[in-house]
């Protein structure tokens, strides 16, 4: 009996031993996160990216560290208790190496850190160079088309047009433009604007083009036909458009040349071209052209035909006969030579000729008086007596083209030039 009992005990011990050996030991459950993305040593990574890692069973959250060195002395980001398996990082530097690691928050505290992985960011594109409208350009026709130079690798561009240099008062602000040009509608005539562009690729967005450009708009669209072979001329650092009306070639804008003086002084024969600007504001000369007394406009030369005065070389101050020829070319319809939005009712400008006259008024012969918005005068090169010269004038209330022989020579009025 004892032998039988002993045999049973030995058999039971052997059975239990065999059963234990037949079940492998459960491996230790890992509490250290494993990094997933971006892969170790990834390059050309975006400056705004998502990092991710594997889950740890039972983890209450995760801690993330990002630094610019492998010993994490130059910490860029500390983020604790992340409740997801990824985290979006933004604002990283261009062409910079970063190191990152993750730990898990578990029941016993915090796990050890994962392996340290490295990635290197690529570069956002350079800022575009602006092209057109060029800086400080004037009389830009509506609606303007903006042009800038392409940036290699750029996926899109952002164009901003504002009425202040701080770019807080936007007339236009659009991103995701796929081309290097864009036409903007809705801008106002005779207004100063500022514009800039940035470029975007998969790695980020450039800074803004520097410097920004400024320009002033014309009163309306580009009507009329440019003079053959001579669409523009540049004179004293300003570009003027031309317009062919019948047999005559005119500048499309009022002349704006010389140094502004305040309206308390007369313009004098001192070898310096002088001008008045409406309300002594130089910007108004940019918008409307200068206002000149007759002697200054004539460069103090004698009356007659083909007097260059202060016009560019190859151009001259028109005679009253040449203004009469202009009137015949437009069937004596003053509205055809007024810019759009100039005048009202029976005097509303259509600018069908492209002459684009503005109702710039005048500066009175006595200091302290300016007029704007009701009518305009243009000097001729012909005087009528010792104190008066002949002017062509338009009123905003009717369509007449008038020749007036009594333009006071000390009055400051607009000047157009006609090609020789």
Note the pLDDT of residue 175: 97
The two structure tokens encoding residue 157: 């561009």
Contacts of 420 (CB under 8 A, 6+ apart): 306, 314, 315, 316
Contacts of 295 (CB under 8 A, 6+ apart): 267, 269, 409
Note the pLDDT of residue 332: 97
Note the pLDDT of residue 353: 97
**pLDDT higher than 50, residue 250:** yes
Domains and their CATH numbers in the chain: 35-121 (2.60.40.10), 130-217 (2.60.40.10), 232-419 (no CATH)
**pLDDT higher than 70, residue 313:** yes
* pLDDT range class, residue 367, cuts 50, 70, 90: confident
* pLDDT range class, residue 365, cuts 50, 70, 90: confident
% of the chain exceeding 90 in pLDDT: 80
Note the pLDDT of residue 327: 97
Cis peptide before 13 (omega within 30 of 0): no
Cβ(284)–Cβ(360) under 8 Å? Answer: no
Cα torsion for 202, 99, 43, 62, to the nearest 10°? -60
The Cα–Cα gap between 100 and 119 comes to: 8
**pLDDT higher than 60, residue 14:** no
Report the range of poorest mean pLDDT among 23-27, 173-177, 382-386, 404-408: 23-27
Note the pLDDT of residue 370: 84
* pLDDT range class, residue 66, cuts 50, 70, 90: very high
* pLDDT range class, residue 157, cuts 50, 70, 90: very high
Per-residue pLDDT, averaged over 187-209, amounts to: 93
The Cα–Cα gap between 263 and 12 comes to: 122
The Cα–Cα gap between 247 and 232 comes to: 17
Contacts of 271 (CB under 8 A, 6+ apart): none
The Cα–Cα gap between 214 and 135 comes to: 5
Rounded to a whole number of angstroms, the CA Rg of the chain reads 39
The two structure tokens encoding residue 158: 């952002």
Model pTM score: 0.69
CA angle 224/226/227 to nearest 5° reads 130
* pLDDT range class, residue 18, cuts 50, 70, 90: very low
The two structure tokens encoding residue 141: 């026709």
């Amino acid at each position: 009996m004892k032998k039988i009992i002993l045999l049973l005990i030995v058999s039971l011990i052997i059975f239990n031993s065999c059963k234990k050996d037949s079940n492998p030991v459960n491996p230790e459950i890992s509490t250290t996160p494993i990094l997933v993305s971006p892969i170790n040593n990834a390059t050309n990574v975006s400056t705004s990216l998502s990092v991710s890692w594997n889950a740890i069973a039972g983890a209450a959250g995760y801690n993330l560290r990002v630094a610019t060195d492998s010993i994490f002395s130059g910490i860029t980001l500390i983020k604790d208790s992340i409740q997801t398996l990824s985290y979006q990082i933004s604002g990283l530097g261009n062409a910079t190496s970063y190191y990152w690691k993750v730990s898990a928050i578990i029941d016993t505290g915090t796990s050890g850190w994962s392996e340290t992985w490295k990635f290197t960011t690529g570069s956002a594109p350079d800022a575009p160079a602006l092209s057109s409208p060029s800086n400080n350009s004037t009389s830009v026709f509506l609606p303007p088309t903006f042009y800038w130079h392409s940036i290699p690798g750029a996926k899109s561009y952002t164009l901003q047009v504002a009425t202040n240099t701080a770019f807080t008062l936007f007339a236009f602000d659009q991103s995701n433009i796929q081309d290097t040009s864009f036409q903007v509608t809705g801008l106002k005539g005779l207004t100063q604007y500022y514009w800039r562009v940035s470029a975007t690729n998969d790695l980020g967005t450039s800074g803004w083009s520097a410097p920004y450009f400024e320009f002033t708009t014309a009163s309306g669209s580009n009507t009329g036909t440019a003079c053959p072979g001579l669409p523009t001329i540049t004179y004293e650092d300003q570009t003027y458009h031309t317009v062919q009306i019948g047999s005559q070639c005119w500048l499309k804008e009022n002349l704006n040349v010389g140094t502004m003086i305040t309206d308390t002084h007369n313009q004098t024969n001192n070898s310096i071209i002088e001008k008045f600007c409406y309300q002594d504001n130089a910007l108004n000369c940019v918008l409307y052209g200068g206002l000149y007394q007759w002697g200054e406009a004539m460069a103090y030369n004698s009356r007659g035909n083909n007097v260059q005065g202060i016009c560019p070389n190859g151009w001259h101050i028109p005679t009253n006969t040449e203004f009469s020829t202009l009137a015949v070319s437009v069937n004596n319809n003053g509205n055809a030579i007024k810019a759009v939005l100039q005048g009202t009712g029976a005097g509303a400008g259509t600018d069908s000729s492209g002459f684009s006259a503005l109702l710039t008024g005048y500066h009175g012969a006595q200091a302290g008086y300016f007029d704007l918005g009701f009518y305009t005068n243009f000097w001729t090169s012909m005087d009528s007596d010792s104190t008066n010269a002949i002017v062509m004038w338009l009123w905003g209330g009717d369509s007449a083209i008038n020749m007036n022989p009594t333009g006071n020579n000390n009055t400051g009025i607009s000047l157009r030039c006609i090609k020789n």
